[in-house]
Amino acid sequence: MINLPRLTGLREQHSHQLALIGYAAVGGFGLHLGETAGWRICLWLIFAVGALAGVASYRRARAIADIATSRIGSAAQGYVEVTGLAKADPGELILTPYSQIPCIWYRYRVYSREEPRGEWRQIDSGSSHTTFEMSDGSGACRVDPEHAEVMAPEQRVTYRDGDKLVEEMLFAGSQLYVLGEYTTVRGEGEALSVSADVSALLADWKAHPVQLKKRFDLNGDGEIDLREWELARRLATKTVERQHRAVRQLGELNLLRAPRDGRMFLISTLPPHKTRRRYLWWSAFHLGVAALAMGAQIAMKG
């Protein structure tokens, strides 16, 4: 099992998911205002969100269409798409945090019911960052899933102590489509920064407060005090140093990871043509919402 140092940034939410949240928030704001002028502002916001999300989804579909599928054994360094089988020895499998299901990647979200309306509110989320192997018969490489958009994973929903737990998983043996940066990492020559990676790891821990308190709130007061945070910092430093030692010992490693230039990094259980089709449907949906918002604006003016 190999854990490579983490890259900063966050790209784990699809644009259409953020757009749906935006539609709901703006619509709720419009209902709260209940005035014509307020609704016009909300319709402009819905139009903007829909147009941006539609264009973003279309660009994703174009990125898939514009890149030819490569064989792993002959893939060039740079931005590539490959298909292959996810592989893992039993000792490399990781466990989902709540259901303890063996897999090669997971993402989780925790929801708590909000009173008095009884709506579910997300209180924690996270994903795994352990690399896994992918092979297509011509060769093999490691996939670093951090910051990937993961499409169509298996999902499990459970309820515990009044909370709703949603876990998404990829399993060994799955046929995967990956679009990302293919690079050969040479462990001895890899530029590594302990301070930068410690800061990134601590920021990741702070972004998931439920798990952070579970690990480091030693006195159970619901807060992370200075002494407990210092313990977290020391553990983060040891974790990063251990990861760096593992990287230095790697030799040469073929790796698929998030592109450093910000282009899309996608892992999908669907084949390329179905993945592209799904993005096109989302693009049509969001552009349709934008068109309806614009039509409503015109009708209100008339």
Which tens digit of pLDDT belongs to each residue from 103-133?
999 999 999 988 777 788 888 888 898 899 9
- What tokens appear for 220 in the block? 């159970």
In a domain, 50, yes or no: yes
DSSP state of 70: -
- Same structural domain for residues 223 and 280? no
Q: What is the pLDDT of residue 298?
A: 82
Of 20-29, 224-233, 258-267, give the lowest mean pLDDT range: 20-29
- Of residues 265 and 16, the one with the higher pLDDT is 265
178 contacts: CB under 8 Å, gap ≥ 6: 81, 82, 83, 84, 134, 143, 256, 266, 267, 268
Say how many domains are in the chain: 2
**Domain span at 32:** 12-66+274-302
Beta strands in 31-93 (DSSP E): 78-87
34 and 178 co-located in one domain: no
Report yes or no on 4 lying in a domain: no
Nearest Cα residue to 177 out of 283, 275, 259, 79: 275
Q: What is the pLDDT of residue 90?
A: 85
Whether residue 283 lies inside any domain: the answer is: yes
Q: Is residue 85 part of a domain?
A: yes
- 227 with 287, same domain: the answer is no
Please list, in sequence order, all residues whose beta carbon lies within 8 angstroms of the beta carbon of residue 164, skipping any fewer than 6 positions away.
110, 111, 112, 113, 120, 157, 158
Share in percent of the chain as helix, strand, coil (round to 5): 45, 25, 30
Does residue 37 share a domain with residue 114?
A: no
Question: Residues 142, 281: one domain?
Answer: no
Closest to 130 measured CA to CA, from 165, 98, 164, 89: 89
Closest CA to 264 of 126, 183, 177, 148: 148
Is residue 144 in a domain?
A: yes
